[in-house]
């Protein structure tokens, strides 16, 4: 490394320090890169996709889940196996199914000897049974092996499907496999392509990617350590969001720094002085941008859902490393590369400081746009606002009260196919019943009340030999083994009742039935608990909706406070917050229409609007911060209105490039076959583009220009701090 140390800034610093400092930083980041990179693939092993683990401990379904462990094999989930036949299943075939299941080769985690008896559908064209599967360990491998071996032992003419909680968990885990490599490759390819187009150089895009990857590896190292120690509980989608957020944010900060470094290097020539000047000009907007994201994410700690609550600190850790990399590694790498970073382009030296040049009189696209805004500012921001408002009307079509878990995996899903078979031959809720914890004395009244609830097909009691139907006279005996009648499992004077619903467990109809069931059973005994997969969805959606109501206004308030501190004004922060909030509403409204009409999605998880809001508000404000901090800086020399226009011209290229890159990185989430991430990817990518090309390019500059000095009220500069000498010439 032989950085040019000419210039007054570091003339007195020892040469060894000018060399040792950058070398030490590069070595530190190299270690983080290597160690964190090795941990990256382990994030998926440290995460879980069991939704009930993220529910509040006080949720009714969580309490039932905990109590279930006392009634059944501890630490298990259940695979529902369904056989479909073309011809009626007779007693012989039924016995063949039972014998075949129990003689399959042992599979780690699969307890075939604890399988329930075979139940044949009324039309005799299907049969089902339930097999316990260990909830810890490699569920996907266990279910895959089970599917393969059941297919081998199935009687001729029967198709076998494995569904239920274990089946869907396996499908989700399979969908997440490769999330590290595939998502990272797609995101980096998108970033590299845009950077090459923007900079038309070989080395500079690689420097940006190395900086982004180093930040990601540092974040992964810390997050994996916290997850391994049990401090945080990682959700399956968290690693994908972390990857995209860190790559996108670091690249954004890098572009802003590079624009300042390019100006300084072209004007000064000395790399050390250019580095210091670039840091001086970029640290404030970069730090403020990172702070808005960190503050927004930290608000998620107030969430009831652990999946939301842990995403906050995880993503905030990622942004911290993005800031560290932008302030240390990137400047050092550019200091080392100097003008060679821009090869094959030649960075010409200029004598004119762009802050004093006539940038508004140029022929470039941003100068022309600035002059047009100056002519009719009010028309520009009013029309822009109306366009966004019309798009926001699509919010009336938003269905974000939950989506069927069977549709969580996009594309092929063996578990969903099995669920369709069950719905065709059995009550749609068979295999995934609601679960009641009932006192022994309340079994019959609870059963009678449950059967009166619309949407309930049947009620069974959990026994040592599997579920047994309940009649008004008590448990109906049936032969098991040598004619032994099943005995209910009693724990602390309570039993489990399994309620089969007429609707599939993951449908809105089933959720409505569970809510009515809870209300009806409260009249029998307030201590009766209703759980099961449908109840988990009900409680999860309720918690997510509550989170959305609480967190969204808090995020707006937190970001507003950060902007007020940064800009030392009230009007400008209010304008910025209002603009990105409107942009978010427009993006969500437009996305709702696309989801319903083009993609045919049945709905969205309640957390989708919340996550989209946090990312769009925090990241959308970034571009406005870049614009308005430059406008404030330029306004001090050229007047408020010219300062706004000059800020637009000087930041136009870098902000547009950053927006396109961030949209491309979030769009990369769409390569994963998961409904939740696909919806987040579309909303955020589209919203970022709206912020880039409408809000930051048209609405905010035009509104700020129209307001004039009032934009900085109540600060002193709104009255006396800025000159206005050039405004009239621009308007003319």
Percent of the chain past pLDDT 70, that is, above it, reads: 86
Percent of the chain past pLDDT 90, that is, above it, reads: 22
Thinking of the domain 75-174, which architecture would CATH place it in?
2-Layer Sandwich (3.30)
> N- to C-terminal Cα distance for the chain?
52
- Please give the backbone phi and psi of residue 126, each rounded to the nearest 5 degrees, phi first: -155, 155
> Mean per-residue pLDDT for 450-462?
88
**Quick one: how far is CA 511 from the chain centroid?**
24
**Quick one: how far is CA 182 from the chain centroid?**
17
CATH superfamily of the domain spanning 46-71+178-351: Multidrug efflux transporter AcrB transmembrane domain (1.20.1640.10)
Reference 683, options 631, 601, 611; nearest CA is: 611
Ranking 17-31, 56-70, 92-106, 683-697 by mean pLDDT, the lowest is 56-70
Is the pLDDT score of 327 beyond 50?
A: yes
Is the pLDDT score of 182 beyond 70?
A: yes
DSSP 414-482: HHHHHHHHHHHHS-TTTTS-EEEEEEGGGHHHHHHHHHHSTTEEEEEEEETTEEEEEETTEEPP---TT
Q: What is the pLDDT of residue 357?
A: 62
Helix, strand, or coil here: 488?
strand
Element (H, E) at 21: helix 15-40
- Of residues 152 and 350, more confidence is placed in 152
Cα R_g (the chain), whole angstroms? 31
Whether 307 and 53 have beta carbons less than 8 Å apart is answered as no
Domain boundaries, the chain: 46-71+178-351, 75-174, 359-406+549-732, 417-539
The CA-based dihedral angle spanning residues 593, 599, 602, 603, taken in that order and rounded to the nearest 10 degrees: -50
Partners of residue 83 on adjacent β-strands: 127, 160
Six token digits for residue 219: 């974040």
For the stretch 576-586, pLDDT in tens is 999 989 999 99
For the stretch 7-17, pLDDT in tens is 444 445 566 66
Reference 133, options 154, 164, 104; nearest CA is: 164
**Confidence class of residue 404 from pLDDT cuts 50, 70 and 90?**
confident
Partners of residue 488 on adjacent β-strands: 463
Q: What is the pLDDT of residue 74?
A: 55
CA distance 72 to 319: 44
**Confidence class of residue 632 from pLDDT cuts 50, 70 and 90?**
confident
Helix, strand, or coil here: 289?
helix
Which CATH topology does 417-539 take?
Alpha-Beta Plaits (3.30.70)
CA distance 719 to 590: 41
Mean pLDDT, rounded, of the chain? 82
Whether 167 and 415 have beta carbons less than 8 Å apart is answered as yes
Is the pLDDT score of 461 beyond 70?
A: yes
Is the pLDDT score of 242 beyond 50?
A: yes
CA distance 502 to 659: 48
Q: What is the pLDDT of residue 352?
A: 54
Is the pLDDT score of 534 beyond 80?
A: yes
Whether 80 and 150 have beta carbons less than 8 Å apart is answered as no
For the stretch 183-208, pLDDT in tens is 778 888 888 888 888 888 889 999 99
> Mean per-residue pLDDT for 123-152?
86
**Quick one: how far is CA 93 from the chain centroid?**
47
Q: Do domains 75-174 and 417-539 have the same CATH topology?
A: yes
Ranking 349-363, 463-477, 538-552 by mean pLDDT, the lowest is 463-477
Is the pLDDT score of 173 beyond 80?
A: no
Q: What is the pLDDT of residue 207?
A: 93
Q: What is the pLDDT of residue 116?
A: 80
State which of 176-180, 234-238, 371-375 shows the largest mean pLDDT. 371-375
For the stretch 311-326, pLDDT in tens is 888 989 999 999 999 9
Cα angle vertex 104, ends 102, 106, to 5°?
100
Secondary-structure percent of the chain, ordered helix, strand, coil, rounded to 5: 65, 10, 25
Whether 699 and 386 have beta carbons less than 8 Å apart is answered as no
State which of 387-401, 429-443, 484-498 shows the largest mean pLDDT. 387-401
Which whole-number Å values give the CA distances from 540 to 88, 403, 430, 559, in the listed order? Answer: 40, 12, 22, 27
Q: What is the pLDDT of residue 175?
A: 72
> Mean per-residue pLDDT for 624-630?
86
Instruction: Tell if the pTM clears 0.85, that is, is over it.
Output: no
Whether 560 and 552 have beta carbons less than 8 Å apart is answered as no
- Of residues 698 and 115, more confidence is placed in 698
> Mean per-residue pLDDT for 21-48?
82
Q: Is 508 exposed, middle or buried (0-12, 13-18, 19+ CB in 10 A)?
A: middle
- H, E, C per residue of 330-384: HHHHHHHHHHHHHCCCCCCCCCCCCCCCCHHHCCCHHHHHHHHHHHCHHHHHHHH
Ranking 95-99, 102-106, 216-220, 471-475 by mean pLDDT, the lowest is 471-475
**Confidence class of residue 3 from pLDDT cuts 50, 70 and 90?**
very low
Which CATH number does 359-406+549-732 carry?
1.20.1640.10
CA distance 269 to 248: 30
CA distance 439 to 461: 12
The CA-based dihedral angle spanning residues 469, 474, 479, 480, taken in that order and rounded to the nearest 10 degrees: 70
Helix, strand, or coil here: 163?
strand
411: left (phi over 0), alpha (psi -120 to 50) or beta: left
Omega into 344 within 30° of 0, i.e. cis? Answer: yes
């Amino acid at each position: 490394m032989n950085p040019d140390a000419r210039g007054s800034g570091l003339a007195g610093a020892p040469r060894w320090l000018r060399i040792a400092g950058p070398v030490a930083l590069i070595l530190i980041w190299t270690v983080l890169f290597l160690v964190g990179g090795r941990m990256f693939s382990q994030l998926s092993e440290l995460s879980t996709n069991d939704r009930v683990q993220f529910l509040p401990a006080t949720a009714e379904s969580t309490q039932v889940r905990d109590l279930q462990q006392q009634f059944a094999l501890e630490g298990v989930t259940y695979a529902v196996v369904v056989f479909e036949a073309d011809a009626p299943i007779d007693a012989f075939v039924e016995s063949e199914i039972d014998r075949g299941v129990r003689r399959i080769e042992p599979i780690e985690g699969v307890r075939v000897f604890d399988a329930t008896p075979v139940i044949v559908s009324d039309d005799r064209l299907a049969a089902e049974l339930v097999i316990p599967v260990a909830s810890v360990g490699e569920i996907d491998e266990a279910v895959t092996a089970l599917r393969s071996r059941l297919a081998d032992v199935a009687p001729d003419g029967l198709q076998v499907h494995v569904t239920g909680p274990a089946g869907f968990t396996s499908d989700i885990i399979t969908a997440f496999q490769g999330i590290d490599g595939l998502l990272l490759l797609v995101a980096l390819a998108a970033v590299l392509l845009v950077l090459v187009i923007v900079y038309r150089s070989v080395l500079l895009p690689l420097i940006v990617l190395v900086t982004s990857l180093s930040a990601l590896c540092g974040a992964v190292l810390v997050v994996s350590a916290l997850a391994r120690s049990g401090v945080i509980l990682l959700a399956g989608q968290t690693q994908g969001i972390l990857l995209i957020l860190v790559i996108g944010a670091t690249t954004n900060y890098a572009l802003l720094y590079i624009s300042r470094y390019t100006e300084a290097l072209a004007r000064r020539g000395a790399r050390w002085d250019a580095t210091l000047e670039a840091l001086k000009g970029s640290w404030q907007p970069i730090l403020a941008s990172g702070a808005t994201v960190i503050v927004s994410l930290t608000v998620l700690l107030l969430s009831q859902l652990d999946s939301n609550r842990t995403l906050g600190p995880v993503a905030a850790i990622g942004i911290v490393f993005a800031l560290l990399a932008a302030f240390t590694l990137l400047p050092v790498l550019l200091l080392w590369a100097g003008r060679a970073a821009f090869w094959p382009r030649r960075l010409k030296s200029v004598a004119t400081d762009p802050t004093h040049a006539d940038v508004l009189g140029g022929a470039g696209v941003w100068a022309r746009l600035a002059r047009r805004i100056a002519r009719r500012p009010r028309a520009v921001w009013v029309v822009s606002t109306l366009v966004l408002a019309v798009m926001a009307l699509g919010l009336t079509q938003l269905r974000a009260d939950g989506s069927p878990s069977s549709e969580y995996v996009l594309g092929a899903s063996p578990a969903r196919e099995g669920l369709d078979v069950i719905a065709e031959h059995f009550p749609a809720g068979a295999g995934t019943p609601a679960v009641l914890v009932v006192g022994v004395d309340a079994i019959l009244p609870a059963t009678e009340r449950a059967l009166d609830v619309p949407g309930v097909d049947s009620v069974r009691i959990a026994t040592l030999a599997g579920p047994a139907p309940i009649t008004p006279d008590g448990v109906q005996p049936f032969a098991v083994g040598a004619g032994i009648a099943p005995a209910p499992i009693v724990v602390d004077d309570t039993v489990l009742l399994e309620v089969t619903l007429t609707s599939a467990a993951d449908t809105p109809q089933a959720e409505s039935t569970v809510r009515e069931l809870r209300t009806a059973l409260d009249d029998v005994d307030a201590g009766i608990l209703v759980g099961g997969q449908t109840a988990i969805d009900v409680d999860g959606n309720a918690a997510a909706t509550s989170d959305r109501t609480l967190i969204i206004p808090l995020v707006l308030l937190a970001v507003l406070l950060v902007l007020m501190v940064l800009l030392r004004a009230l009007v400008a922060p209010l304008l910025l917050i209002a603009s990105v909030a409107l942009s978010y509403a427009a993006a969500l409204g437009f996305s709702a229409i696309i989801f319903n009409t083009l993609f045919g999605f049945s709905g969205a998880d309640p957390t989708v609007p919340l996550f989209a809001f946090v990312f769009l508000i925090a990241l959308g404000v970034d571009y406005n911060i870049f614009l308005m901090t430059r406008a404030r800086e330029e306004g001090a020399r050229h007047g408020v209105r010219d300062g706004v226009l000059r800020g637009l011209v000087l930041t136009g290229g870098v902000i547009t490039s950053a927006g396109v890159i961030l949209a491309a990185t979030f769009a990369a989430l769409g390569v994963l076959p998961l409904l939740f991430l696909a919806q987040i990817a579309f909303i955020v990518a589209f919203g970022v583009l709206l912020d880039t090309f409408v809000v930051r390019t048209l609405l905010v500059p035009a509104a700020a220009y129209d307001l004039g000095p009032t934009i900085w009220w109540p600060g002193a500069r709104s009255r006396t701090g800025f000159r206005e000498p050039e405004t009239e010439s621009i308007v003319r």
